[in-house]
Structure 1
Amino acid sequence: MKGTAILFQENDKVTVIENVEHSVFEEIKAQCGCEHCNCKLENKLIDFGSVSPVFWHEDEVDWDYGY
């Protein structure tokens, strides 16, 4: 199942990752509160820094709707 992961980072940034497997979201969620939240996207290891909280939205976000 693919969807959109929404990550709130310590530096007040919000990162939205679209079209990701739910397993990747679970991997990120398991690292919430850690200093370095890492996951592999498109064969690259990405470090998002400190992330908390994270949310999952099944499917894609309709940006025209005003999320």
Structure 2
Amino acid sequence: MKGTAILFQADQSVTFIEDIEHSVYEEIKSQCGCEHCNCKIENKIVDFGTVSPVFWHEDEIDWDYGY
């Protein structure tokens, strides 16, 4: 199952990661509150820094709708 992960970061920014497997979301979620939230996306290790909270949205987000 693929979807979009929504990450709220310590520096007040929000990151949207589209078209990822639910297992990647679970990996990020398990690291919430850690100083370095790391995961592998497209064969690259990505460090998002401190993430808390993180949410999941199944399927794609319709950006034209006005989110």
**What TM-score do the two structures reach when normalised by structure 1?**
0.99
Cα offset for 1:12? 0.6
CA RMSD in angstroms comes to 0.3
Runs of 5+ unmatched residues, structure 2: none
Equivalence for 2:32: 32
Q: Report the secondary structure of 1:40's partner residue.
A: strand
Equivalence for 2:6: 6
Cα offset for 1:43? 0.3
Q: What are the residue-to-residue correspondences of 1:1-67 with 2, within 5 Å?
A: 1-67=1-67
Tell me the distance in 2 between the aligned counterparts of 1:32 and 1:38: 10
Cα offset for 1:28? 0.1
**What TM-score do the two structures reach when normalised by structure 2?**
0.99
- Count of residue correspondences: 67
Give the aligned residue type for 2:35: E
Give the aligned residue type for 1:32: C
Runs of 5+ unmatched residues, structure 1: none
